[in-house]
Amino acid sequence: MISLSTCEAEYVAALVYVIIEEQLENIFTKPLQEDRYIWLRDRLGMDLIGEQ
């Protein structure tokens, strides 16, 4: 067990592995095929303007 001081505890972060196919920032940073774009868009809860 590791003991952390109050100052050290402020900088503890959790790292979570996310497979590349589920990384939502891809929608903003990479050219995607339409089906991949729609899947990521839906994961973000976004809709097209005017789409009901």
Query: pLDDT tens for residues 4-27?
Result: 666 666 677 778 887 877 776 777
Q: What's the CA gap between 27 and 21, in Å, rounded?
A: 11
Task: Look at residue 18 and tell me if it is in a domain.
Answer: yes
Token digits of residue 15:
């790292």
DSSP, collapsed to helix, strand or coil, labels residue 9 as helix
For residue 33, give its domain range: 6-43
Q: Exposure of 10 by Cβ count < 10 A (0-12 exposed, 13-18 middle, 19+ buried)?
A: exposed
Task: Look at residue 15 and tell me if it is in a domain.
Answer: yes
Task: Look at residue 1 and tell me if it is in a domain.
Answer: no
Q: What's the CA gap between 27 and 44, in Å, rounded?
A: 10
Total domains, the chain: 1
User: In whole numbers, what is the pLDDT of the chain averaged over residues?
Assistant: 75
What is the per-residue pLDDT for 9?
Answer: 62
Q: Is the pLDDT of residue 3 over 80?
A: no
Task: Look at residue 21 and tell me if it is in a domain.
Answer: yes
